[in-house]
Amino acid sequence: MSSQFIYLSILVASIGTYFCRAFGMFSAKNIKVDSPIFHWIRCVSMAVIAAVIARIVFFPVGILTESTMLVRIVCTLILLVVYFLFKKNVILAVSSSTICFVILNHVL
């Protein structure tokens, strides 16, 4: 693969990405926050995030496969509990589940 092809691929991908972002920015002025389309977009976004997290927990790739499924599930549950108990504090939830993950991987 030549370096020119790589640069051209990066350029085309960048143009596509920034075009979509610009289109979203200009079309967002016409969407009300409480509209059905905005609610649908929010639901689809949450579903995609949930699917990615489920894939990481149940079908890990790379070094994450060295941890047991029990550890991954327990740490995910701890993340959710801390997130909702502490008023949706993302930093505290991620930090506590990361610490739990490290500790459980060294113990088990």
Query: What amino acid is encoded at 16 in this protein?
Result: G
pTM, entire model: 0.65
Q: What is the pLDDT of residue 59?
A: 95
User: Domain range spanning residue 7?
Assistant: 1-30
Is there a single domain that holds both residue 19 and residue 37? Answer: no
Is there a single domain that holds both residue 95 and residue 84? Answer: yes
The b-or-e profile of 73-99 (16+ CB within 10 A means b, else e) is: ebbbebbeebbeeeeeeeeebeebbee
Is there a single domain that holds both residue 47 and residue 19? Answer: no
Region 23-50: mean pLDDT is: 85
Distance CA 24, CA 18 (A): 10
Is there a single domain that holds both residue 73 and residue 108? Answer: yes
- 52-101 pLDDT, tens digit per residue, is 999 999 999 999 999 999 999 999 999 999 999 999 999 999 999 999 99
Is there a single domain that holds both residue 35 and residue 17? Answer: no
Is there a single domain that holds both residue 83 and residue 71? Answer: yes
Token pair of 81 as six digits: 């509990």
Token pair of 17 as six digits: 């990405």
Inter-helix orientation angle 69-85/36-58, to 10°: 140
Is there a single domain that holds both residue 41 and residue 22? Answer: no
CA atoms within a 13 Å half-sphere pointing along the CA-CB vector of 48: 6
Is there a single domain that holds both residue 14 and residue 39? Answer: no
**Residue located via tokens 């496969």:** 65
State how many domains the chain has: 3
Token pair of 10 as six digits: 């990066």
